[in-house]
Amino acid sequence: MALSIFRREPEPEPELTKIVISLVGGSGSGKTSFFQGVQESLIDDTYVIDENGKFNIRLQPIAIDSGLGVQENGNNAENEVIQETNISRVDEAIVNQNSVNDSFAQLLAFSAGSQPQIQPKPSLRDDEKVDSYNMGKVSGSDRIAEGMFLSDALRKAFAISTQKGFKANTATVKYVHITFRVLVNGKPKCLLVITDYAGELIDNSSNTLKRGVRTLAKHLNSSDAAVILVSARDLSKNIQDVIVPDESMFKKLETKREVSADNINNLFNILEKDKFTLLLAITQKDSPQVDARISAHHFSRTEHDLKNYIFHPAFITAENKNWSTGMTPVTVIGTRRDGQPNVDGNNKILPEADIHQENVDIAVLFCLYNAVLCHMMSLQEQIETLSRKFGKTAEEKTQLKLLRSEKRQLNELRMALTSNSELFQEIGLQYSAFTAIADTGEVKILKGGDKT
């Protein structure tokens, strides 16, 4: 009797979920330096999450894109788009190293504020994604090689040193966004895009203010999280002694103008999001120019007044829409081991500086964690809808497998991020609008009274 051999078909490769974190703040708020902290903690180094070393996470850069400017489609300003130029893609990095070198020379020119002569392509649409299928075809050694190459180029673009000081703004051409693979224990779990928007898009002094806010809102609608960056040095310029307990320690009008708060508040007011994360990051927390009242009691009064007086509309929007929110002070400079500052009174980096980031990694992982929960919830809804359907076609069965596999990848990332219960303790007002059941990965929205 002949034996029948059944060949099991390989499982279809799931598409890596794309998660987008946008950096929002006026000129000089510290967005460019924020990237340096990301580079130091999550790109150059492997971040060990739990004390037992069971889980580690790292960002592997695979693409850089930059927007060159705002154009209008026809005469209707509502149809304006930000043109985008492709700086580097993973396939280009492998096929043509010379062209990538040229591209990064252009990125470095952006950092210096100059405009390279390159042809823009149409604005990136929601359906245009990094080709994860092609990435899967690249050999492991090539992936490592191109990841190291891009990482080295990013290091040069965002490096802060005692010799050259702080890096010039990188988003002078509207925005720069960088795509990473998020690796847990060396295995990709999702894609992460971190976008640095130019401060001029929301500066109060901008001549194209309304256009900039409206255009930025359109782009943020495709984001999963936003980090509002506010310089502690800027806050110190308009601080006042508080006599009445319910009075702001910041001069409201002056402070709002200093940090472009009105435009930022308007930005989130018109955002069309129901699942989102909003994090307030106070930058330059260790600068000698920061008033001691701002950092007092772990920035608790600063957090209260920024939420209730300066960015109150944004946080009211977040509460009404059940977004996840938080606040954390960050620095990419830090202090020396003896507690002395790394910069002088003029904010110049000292020769003996011991430069290191603090809390930038936590800010990124906090946004990533909450975004993962949102995507898991969306996948769960799709899976339940498709599972209830009778007489599924072969394509629908394959789609169901892909959805479950994609959710499983995200759940593994979520479990890694929750392996250390103290990971997000530095996040003030710490709560997530979402919770996940550990065993099944099922995600639910917390009721208002359940927030802690």
Examine residue 3 and state whether it is found in any structural domain, yes or no. Answer: no
Residue 189 · residue 50 · CB < 8 Å: no
Which residues form the domain of 159? 18-370
| Interval 156-180: pLDDT, tens | 777 676 666 666 655 444 778 889 9
Helical packing angle, 360-387 and 31-38, nearest 10°: 80
- For residue 7, being part of any structural domain is answered with no
Same domain, 339 and 409: no
pLDDT tens digits for range 47-96: 898 878 899 999 999 888 776 544 444 444 444 444 444 444 333 333 23
**Most distant pair of Cα atoms in the chain: their distance:** 95
DSSP strands (E only) in 318-369: 324-329
Same domain, 120 and 231: yes
181 within domain boundaries: yes
Segments of the chain with pLDDT less than 50? 3-4, 6-7, 69-140, 171-173, 206-208, 449, 451-452
Which structure tokens are listed for 196?
A: 């640095």
pLDDT per position as a tens digit, 365-406: 999 999 999 999 999 999 999 999 888 899 999 999 999 999
Report the distance separating Cα 368 and Cα 181, nearest Å: 12
Last residue of a domain, one of 352, 370, 388: 370
The reported pLDDT for the residue numbered 288 is 82
403 belongs to a structural domain: yes
Count of residues in the chain: 452
- 140-158 vs 97-111: helix axis angle to the nearest 10? 20
CA distance 348 to 356: 15
The reply to whether 336 and 394 lie within a common domain is no
pLDDT of residue 121: 33
Token pair for residue 148? Answer: 């190291």
The secondary structure of residue 122, as a DSSP letter, is P
Instruction: Classify residue 4: in a domain, yes or no.
Output: no
What would the two tokens of residue 235 be?
């806050």
Which of 370, 392, 411 is the last residue in one of the domains? 370
- CATH code: domain of residue 279: 3.40.50.300
Q: Are 288 and 344 in contact (CB under 8 A)?
A: yes
Q: Is residue 254 part of a domain?
A: yes
Report the pLDDT value the prediction gives residue 9, as an integer from 0 to 100.
52
Give the pLDDT of residue 352. 76
Are 364 and 378 in the same domain?
Answer: no
- 271 and 417 in a single domain? The answer is no
CA distance 210 to 91: 38
Radius of gyration (Cα) for the chain, nearest Å? Answer: 23
Residues 296 and 389 in one domain: no
Do 430 and 424 touch, CB atoms closer than 8 A?
Answer: yes
Show which of 312, 343, 370 is a domain's final residue.
370
* 10 is a domain residue: no
CB 220 within 8 A of CB 206: no
Q: Distance between CA 380 and CA 30 in Å, rounded?
A: 37
Tokens linked to 90: 């993973």
pTM over cut 0.75 = yes
Q: Are residues 379 and 344 in the same domain?
A: no
Residue 214: inside a domain, yes or no?
Answer: yes
Task: Tell me the C-alpha distance between 295 and 260, whole Å.
Answer: 21
Do 276 and 382 sit in the same domain of this protein?
Answer: no
How far lies 235's CA from each of 56, 106, 292, in Å?
Answer: 36, 34, 11
Q: Find all residues with CB under 8 Å of 242, minimum gap 6, and list them.
A: 248, 249
The answer on 185 and 223 residing in a single domain is yes
Assess whether 165 and 218 both reside in one domain: yes
The rounded distance, in Å, linking the Cα atoms of 198 and 345 is 27
Residues 427, 346 share a domain:
no
Number of structural domains (the chain) is: 2
Check whether residue 364 and residue 389 sit in a common domain.
no
